[in-house]
């Protein structure tokens, strides 16, 4: 039996039809019913990256974000504590705050001015009578976790406990960068004309990098994300061997610095899907900028040390690159079967001054261009999934292993939702 928040029988049939090692049946990318099931299961029962702690640096700072059909607000209360609530008034359900960032003293509903303290309790409800019990009309809290300055929310009453594993792995890896006290230097929203899973699949491989991302490729080693050892030219083989040698040298250096760098993969078999690894930055090795040098004069946290590389972190709806001079934090939110919001935030030291310590052009150009290129690829893939000519295609076992893991994880989580949690 399916409960109302489980995949419908037709979505279940599509999930069962998924061929291992292949892309998903088309309708899982294109149909409204599958989209709704994704929102109800993946985005409502898992830990979803929602933003960054430095978005709400001061008491009264709030930001709101839509996750599927839910709207969530995250704020910093008067005791400096981060809290998340449904962005829904307890009176007649109006949205409380607009999407994006705002600053409030209290949360005042625009409809009839019910007023909430920043801890979510209802402070004022005019014209409700002397016998009205305000204590019964608290805002509905949402589970929130701040991991190294990246904020995750879970809409379920029973959030997956393995978020503790993400915290255990990432707190020490992110600690030197002190992202909690960074600032958002620039933020960009783009809409990709494709299903959110195509956005994530596109992100999980660098098979497409050499031919599509000329600028990113200056600071990225595509070989980090796999290659067919028998398909390399002699020059490519030499390059791959050089990269292996470089990892041996960097590994020794990172050991000395006390920095974790080994890959950790927590994907199939777990609710909270993530992968992290410290990567070597190509070129001059400093940052993902046009000349591969640091974009920001002031480093993040206590990272005033050379050769820290790039702490990459993938999650269910996010990907991140954390470097000594800046961090790029990406979140993806489904807004329709064929539309995905991709939000990119560039974080820098909060004391860094634009125009003196960095320029936005130099800081943002690589990923702005890469986002444009990726949006184009995701739209092409979605168009293909809409076509009667589409058949699930094979992933490369060398360059697309992470995609196979992602779609396998997705199918597994959707099916697991049949068993009430
Ligand atoms: S709906 Fe918010 S005060 Fe009425
Ligand atoms: Fe890409």
DSSP 278-346: EE--STTSS-SSTTSS-S-SSPSTT--SS---EEEEE-SSEEEEE-SS-EEEEEEEEEETTEEEEEEEE
pTM: 0.96
pLDDT tens digits along 300-343: 999 998 899 999 999 999 999 999 999 999 999 999 999 999 99
Q: Are 268 and 275 in contact (CB under 8 A)?
A: no
**pLDDT tens, residue by residue, 34-43:** 999 999 999 9
- Please name the residues in contact with 130: beta carbons below 8 A apart, sequence gap of 6 or more: none
Q: How many CB atoms lie within 10 A of CB 193?
A: 16
What is the Cα–Cα distance from 12 to 415, expressed in whole angstroms?
Answer: 7
| pLDDT of the residue at 7 | 66
Query: Could you tell me which residues are beta bridge partners of residue 42?
Result: none
Based on the number of CB atoms within 10 Å of its own CB, is 238 exposed (0-12), middle (13-18) or buried (19 or more)? exposed
- Between CA 40 and CA 56 the distance in angstroms is 27
Q: What's the confidence (pLDDT) of residue 8?
A: 75
Instruction: For residue 93, give the ligand 1 atom closest to its CA.
Output: 1
pLDDT surpassing 80 at residue 3:
no
Residue to probe by mutation, ligand 1, list 107, 109, 120, most atoms within 8 Å of CB: 109
CA of 204 to the centre of ligand 1 (A): 43
Q: Which atom of ligand 1 is nearest to the CA of 92?
A: 1
Beta carbons within 10 angstroms of residue 68's beta carbon: 20
Is the CB of residue 91 below 6 angstroms from any atom belonging to ligand 1?
A: yes
- Summarize pLDDT for 212-258 with one digit per residue, the tens: 999 999 999 888 988 999 988 998 899 899 999 999 999 999 999 99
CB distance 398 to 227 below 8 Å = yes
The pLDDT of residue 4 is above 70:
no
Q: What is the pLDDT of residues 88-120, one digit of tens each?
A: 999 999 999 999 999 999 999 999 999 999 999
Q: Which residue, by CA, sits nearest to atom 3 of ligand 1? A: 112
Identify the band that residue 158 occupies on the pLDDT scale cut at 50, 70 and 90: very high
Domains in the chain with CATH codes: 58-144 (2.102.10.10), 160-416 (3.90.380.10)
The rounded Å distance from CA 113 to ligand 1 centre is 6
Q: Are 195 and 334 in contact (CB under 8 A)?
A: yes
User: Which residues lie below 8 Å from residue 357, measured CB to CB, with a gap of 6+?
Assistant: 296, 297, 298, 348, 349
Count how many Cα atoms sit within 13 Å of the Cα of residue 246 in the half-sphere of its side chain: 20
Cα–Cα distance for residue pair 348/296, rounded to 1 Å: 7
Q: What are the backbone angles phi and psi of residue 203, rounded to the nearest 5°?
A: -75, -25
Percentage with pLDDT > 70 across the chain: 98
Contacts of 350 (CB under 8 A, 6+ apart): 54, 57, 181, 182, 183
By C-alpha distance, which of 202, 167, 113, 161 is closest to 402? 202
Query: Which residues 6+ apart lie within 8 Å of 408 measured at CB?
Result: 20, 268
Q: What is the per-residue pLDDT for 6?
A: 58
| Residue 112 alpha carbon, nearest atom of ligand 1 | 3
- SS3 percent helix, strand, coil of the chain, rounded to 5, is 35, 25, 40
Tokens 């839509």, residue located: 66
- Residue 106 CB neighbours (<10 A): 12
For residue 76, the surrounding DSSP H or E stretch is strand 70-76
Query: Does any ligand 1 atom lie closer than 6 A to the CB of residue 208?
Result: no
Task: Report the share of the chain in percent with pLDDT over 90.
Answer: 92
Closest-CA residue, ligand 1 atom 4, reads: 112
Q: What angle do CA 398, 318, 395 make, to 5 degrees?
A: 20
- Copy the structure tokens of residue 124: 């004022």
Is the CB of residue 92 below 6 angstroms from any atom belonging to ligand 1? yes
Residue with tokens 């400093």: 286
Q: How confident is the model at residue 419 (pLDDT cuts 50, 70, 90)?
A: low
Report helix angle 401-416 to 9-17, nearest 10.
150
Name 119's Cβ contacts closer than 8 Å, sequence gap at least 6.
77, 78, 79, 83
């Amino acid at each position: 039996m399916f409960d109302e928040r489980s995949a419908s029988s037709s979505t279940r049939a599509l999930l069962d039809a998924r061929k291992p090692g292949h892309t998903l049946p088309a309708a899982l990318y294109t149909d409204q019913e599958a989209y709704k099931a994704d929102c109800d299961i993946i985005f409502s029962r898992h830990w979803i990256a929602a933003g960054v702690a430095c978005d709400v640096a001061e008491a009264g700072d709030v930001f709101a974000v839509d996750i599927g059909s839910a709207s969530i607000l995250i704020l910093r209360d008067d005791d400096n504590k981060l809290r998340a609530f449904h962005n829904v008034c307890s009176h007649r359900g109006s949205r409380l705050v607009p999407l994006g960032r705002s600053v409030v003293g209290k949360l005042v509903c625009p409809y009839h001015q019910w007023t909430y303290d920043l801890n979510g309790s209802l402070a004022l409800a005019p014209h409700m009578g002397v016998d009205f019990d305000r204590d019964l009309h608290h805002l509905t809290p949402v589970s929130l976790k701040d991991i190294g300055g990246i904020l995750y929310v879970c809409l379920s009453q029973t959030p997956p406990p393995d978020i503790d594993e993400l915290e255990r792995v990432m707190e020490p890896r992110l600690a030197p960068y002190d992202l909690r006290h960074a600032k958002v230097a620039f933020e960009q929203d783009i809409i990709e004309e494709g299903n959110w899973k195509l956005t994530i699949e596109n992100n999980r491989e660098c098979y497409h990098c050499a031919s599509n991302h000329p600028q990113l490729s200056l600071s990225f080693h595509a070989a980090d994300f796999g290659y067919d050892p028998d398909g390399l030219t002699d020059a490519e083989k030499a390059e791959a061997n050089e990269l292996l040698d470089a990892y041996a040298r960097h590994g020794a250096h990172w050991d000395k610095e006390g920095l974790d760098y080994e890959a950790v993969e927590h994907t199939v078999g777990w609710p909270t899907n993530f992968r992290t690894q410290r990567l070597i930055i190509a070129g001059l090795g400093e940052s993902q900028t046009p000349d591969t040098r640091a974009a920001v004069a002031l480093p993040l946290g206590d990272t005033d040390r050379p050769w820290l590389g790039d702490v990459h972190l993938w999650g269910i709806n996010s990907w991140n690159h954390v470097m000594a001079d800046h961090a790029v934090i990406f979140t993806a939110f489904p807004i329709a079967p064929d539309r995905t919001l991709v939000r990119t935030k560039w974080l820098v030291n909060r004391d860094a001054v634009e125009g003196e310590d960095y320029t936005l052009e130099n800081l943002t150009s690589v990923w702005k261009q890469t986002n444009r290129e990726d949006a184009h690829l995701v739209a092409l893939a979605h168009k293909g999934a809409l076509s009667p000519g589409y058949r699930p295609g094979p992933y490369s076992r060398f360059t697309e292993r992470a995609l196979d893991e992602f779609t396998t994880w997705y199918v597994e989580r959707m099916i697991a939702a049949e068993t009430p949690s």
